[in-house]
Amino acid sequence: MSTYDEQEYQRKYRAEHRDEKRAYQKQYGIDHRATILKQHKEYHKTNYVPHPKQPRPMEERFWEWVNKGGTNECWNWKGAPNVWGYGQIRDTNGRYGKKKLAHRISWIIHNGPIPTNILVLHTCDNPLCVNPNHLWLGTHKDNALDMCKKGRHTKGGWGQ
């Protein structure tokens, strides 16, 4: 018997068996597929869990990564920092979303949108801190002046 004949025989056997099974179900009033579908729907009505691929709000994902302390304490970011030490979170679920800085997201959650060309600066100089009481808005110039005032700049420079 060739391979084609064996496959044809199996196909016919399965079809006959399927027909016999359906006849039996019809005879005794068993609709197996409908029963399973009904059970499936009932299960998901009571035990609904969102699919991991469904996007969750940024604020919900944000709070999972914050080690929240007191009002005047630093709320450190528990997620991975970027190369400069600032916390980061993706704007969508998954690995293809654009990375956003966690302290900027904290500012948006607590105070609203950030104007264009404005930075969110830290009073505590802790790049992982996302406490809104430790954040303030400023320009690049404000950031440079703050850096010099706190002595975080390099001493000397060109021509000195």
Q: Kindly report, residue by residue over 63-88, the tens digit of the pLDDT.
A: 999 999 898 999 999 998 999 999 99
Question: Does residue 82 sit in the same domain as residue 113?
Answer: yes
**Encoded tokens for 34:** 């409908």
Provide the pLDDT for residue 40. Answer: 66
Question: Does residue 64 sit in the same domain as residue 99?
Answer: yes
Question: Does residue 92 sit in the same domain as residue 68?
Answer: yes
Note whether 91 and 100 are within 8 A (CB). yes
Residues making up the chain, counted from first to last = 160
Q: Identify the domain containing residue 8 by its residue range.
A: 3-46
Question: Does residue 30 sit in the same domain as residue 99?
Answer: no
Predicted structure pTM score: 0.63
The answer to the question of residue 68 being in a domain is: yes
Question: Does residue 144 sit in the same domain as residue 87?
Answer: yes
Question: Does residue 42 sit in the same domain as residue 97?
Answer: no
Q: How far is CA 70 from the centre of its chain?
A: 26
Give the type of residue at 152. Answer: R
Tell me which of 61 and 138 has the higher pLDDT.
138
Q: Which of these, 141, 106, 138, 102, lies nearest to 120 by C-alpha position?
A: 138
Note whether 93 and 101 are within 8 A (CB). no
Instruction: Give the model confidence (pLDDT) of 121-144 as tens digits.
Output: 999 999 999 999 999 999 999 999
